[in-house]
Structure 1
Amino acid sequence: MHRSVGFVRIGEKKGLKKAIKLRNELGREMWGKFWRRLLKDPYLMTRLPHSVEPVIVYKPNPTKSDPEHRDACYLAKWREFNESGEYKYKTKVCSINKHGKLAAYTQTKKALLEAHKNNIEILTYMGRLNSIDLK
């Protein structure tokens, strides 16, 4: 979205004030109560996940009779800060054969929701999370 504020005609200082005012109006209109948070944290959008759904992966589980056997599992993967301020990947893997499809999905989904509990409201607002309560 591009909008002209006419800073050449009205001057740079007045143009900057007008541009900031216009930016804040449009931001509040688009993002509602999350606008201040987006302004204060410039990297928030890069840290948010695209999806909060576990994925099905096929992990190798060889046996003597079938060395190419693969086991279907649900995988939940997210990042956390460690003590030194670096990102560390965390994963939760649940076997579908061992737990059943619904139980494996529920366990991994709960792990993802717990990992992203601070951002659940904004993810729901953006449409990246369906608001379904898991018990």
Structure 2
Amino acid sequence: MVMPQQCLEDKFIYDTVPNKLSIRMPKPNGKVYSATIGKKKIGHDAAMEIAITKVREVGSEMWAEFWSDILNNPTLLKELPHSVEPTLTQEKDRHGKTVIIYRAIWTVESNGKRKRVCKKTRVNTHGYEESYRISKQQILTAYDQWLPLIRFLKENDNPRFVNSQLELR
């Protein structure tokens, strides 16, 4: 069988050990799936074919409907937020007074570069609950495209999202 020069599954297969191919894939729970395929007896091409088949089977089993997203976007898991919760902080305003705020922080991509966006909501102006709700809504709107994936990661006990609320209270 003729193998394609480069396929999407190759990014999970490493030829680091002389007689083995290593498979390393991220799991939805934040851990890493590892396996090795011996290539000394069967040859590199046959081992590569077995490794690609294994990556396809295990990946689609672990990631379900999100497997194609993981394959097609190599930086997808890095682009997801570390948290979908707003941060409660204190800072000084321009007059030197301490102000309590909620920060909604997310990233956007423009011209191929990622840019961090931070919106602040004053607790003094809106109150704690309303400030939280406004900030949370901004974060959920920013990551609206990836909420099903984040929900899937949360259900699989991914430490980044295990304590996150994905709906407004």
- 1:131 equivalent in structure 2: 166
Show structure 2 runs of 5+ residues with no match: 1-32, 155-160
Superposition CA RMSD, Å:
1.7
Give 1:79-118 correspondences, 5 Å limit. Answer: 79-82=107-110, 84-118=111-145
Q: Does 1:78 align with 2:106?
A: yes
- Separation in 2 of the partners of 1:33 and 1:74? 34
Per the normalisation by structure 1, the TM-score is: 0.86
Q: Does 1:42 align with 2:70?
A: no
Range that drifts further, 15-24 or 84-93 = 84-93
Q: In 2 relative to 1, CA 131–76 (structure 1 residues): closer, same or farther, beyond 3 Å?
A: closer
Per the normalisation by structure 2, the TM-score is: 0.70
- 1:21 equivalent in structure 2: 53
How many equivalent pairs are there?
129
- Separation in 1 of the partners of 2:60 and 2:34? 17
Whether the 8 Å contact between 1:62 and 1:70 is mirrored in structure 2 is: no
Structure holding more helix per residue: 1
Q: Does 1:5 align with 2:37?
A: yes
Where 1:8 maps in the other structure, the secondary structure is coil
Q: Does 1:122 align with 2:157?
A: no
Whether the 8 Å contact between 2:85 and 2:165 is mirrored in structure 1 is: no
